[in-house]
Amino acid sequence: MPGPNTLYNLYEFFWKDGFGRIHEIQQKHTQEYGKIFKSHFGPQFVVSIADRDMVAQVLRAEGRAPQRANMESWQEYRDLRGRAMGLISAEGEQWLKMRSVLRQKILKPQDVAVYSGGVNEVITDLIKRIHTLRNQEDDGETVTNVNNLFFKYSMEGQIHVDNKLKAIQSQLDQGEEVNGGLLTYLLVSKELTLEEIYANMTEMLLAGVDTTSFTLSWATYLLAKHPEVQQRVYEEIVSNLGKDQVPVALDVPKLPLIRAVLKETLRLYPVLPGNGRVTQKDLIVGGYLIPKGTQLALCHYATSYSEENFPMANEFRPERWLRKDNLDRVDNFGSIPFGYGIRSCIGKRIAELEIHLALIQLLQNFEIKVSPKTEPVRAKTHGLLTPGDSINVRFSDRK
């Protein structure tokens, strides 16, 4: 199996800041070595896969508790501190137990729909904040570094989790009846310990805040740069909801284009440029025998930009997700930003709801435009795929 050696990787990652360019290195190595290649990082051996069919084969072959990349150091730290593992860091039967408990309240569309009211309250504050920030600029429209703005939107209310947990627990201790959402369910069901609930809430916040804010930032940037797409989305919103109706979860299926905008944004800028797995049995992939226990790197960024998977892959074309005869749909493993199967992102429904409702209300209120301060923004890898530069755009009032 072809691939770079240890010395090359040391040079690429430590001398040339490869850790900030993992997404670009995926593409480079795919061009040089093919769709499946090996890498050595000292004693660590990794097989990288940058082919949608091979990725599909690996994910479809997973057992009931797929194993992610090695997280032994995280496990050791938690054990040392006497802390529980959460859904992101847990493995095996422990992970399976947590997944089965958490999925009951946040994986079904009807369960997530109840959060529309709370999300819309935060969006109201977000729009007020945009008015405040743009009034500080000379043109009265520009907002600089929108990711800071969207980070606060994503984080809003999360600081109350600890107090919410304590309040619910106090009610339960006093024998009072408690109704509510996920936190209430976890405490009432008593299927997880309090430490496990804390661990899961912490990890879900960790996984959800940056991912949502980065995706909103990229979507805003792309819509500003493609006003013709933005106009079509706005017309779809107005024809279905009008200019003033506050959207809820049940409205989103009526708006296929805004859903396509999110899919295309995540194709171009997947939150996780790659994903890790450890094989749980021997596999033959791409003609190679991959032994049990091998570390795999699934190169989602490379497959997202493959012309074979997505014609005109470098272009922002949300309509590619609307054509029923097109392979650029859910059965295309070239773009699976939320993962696939039992270990897919458990917060997918909530993230989609937050982003869809935010984009709808932003476009109802503003025309998003390129600013003189808008520069071409390159992506940078910091674990997640982040904007490497400040995203600055104009929010002009709708007439």
Residue 287 has pLDDT above 50, yes or no: yes
Residue 230 has pLDDT above 60, yes or no: yes
Residue 126 has pLDDT above 50, yes or no: yes
Q: Which two tokens stand for residue 233?
A: 């989305």
- Which residue from 57, 56, 150, 119 is spatially nearest to 352, judged by alpha carbons? 119
Q: What is the DSSP letter of 51?
A: -
Contact 280, 62 (CB under 8 A): yes
Q: Which two tokens stand for residue 83?
A: 């802390």
Q: What percent of the chain has pLDDT over 90?
A: 46
- 102-121, pLDDT tens digit by residue? 777 777 777 778 778 888 88
Q: How confident is the model at residue 155 (pLDDT cuts 50, 70, 90)?
A: low
- 134-149, pLDDT tens digit by residue? 988 888 899 888 888 8
Residue 1 maps to a domain: no
Residue 354 maps to a domain: yes
Contact 274, 297 (CB under 8 A): yes
Contact 243, 336 (CB under 8 A): no
Residue 66 maps to a domain: yes
CATH code of 15's domain: 1.10.630.10
Residue 390 maps to a domain: yes
What's the mean pLDDT when you consider all of the chain?
85
The reported pTM is 0.88
List the domain range (segments joined by +) for residue 250.
6-397
- 5-31, pLDDT tens digit by residue? 888 888 888 888 888 888 999 999 999
**Rounded distance, CA 199 to CA 313, Å?**
39
Residue 185 maps to a domain: yes
- Which residue from 79, 228, 216 is spatially nearest to 155, judged by alpha carbons? 216
How many separate domains does the chain show? 1
- 293-350, pLDDT tens digit by residue? 999 999 999 999 999 999 999 999 999 998 665 544 445 799 999 988 888 888 888 8
CA angle 319, 324, 330 (to 5 degrees): 80
Extract the annotated binding site: 345
Q: Which region, left, alpha or beta, applies to residue 160 given φ > 0 means left and ψ of -120 to 50 means alpha?
A: alpha
Residue 44 maps to a domain: yes
Extract the annotated binding site for heme: 345
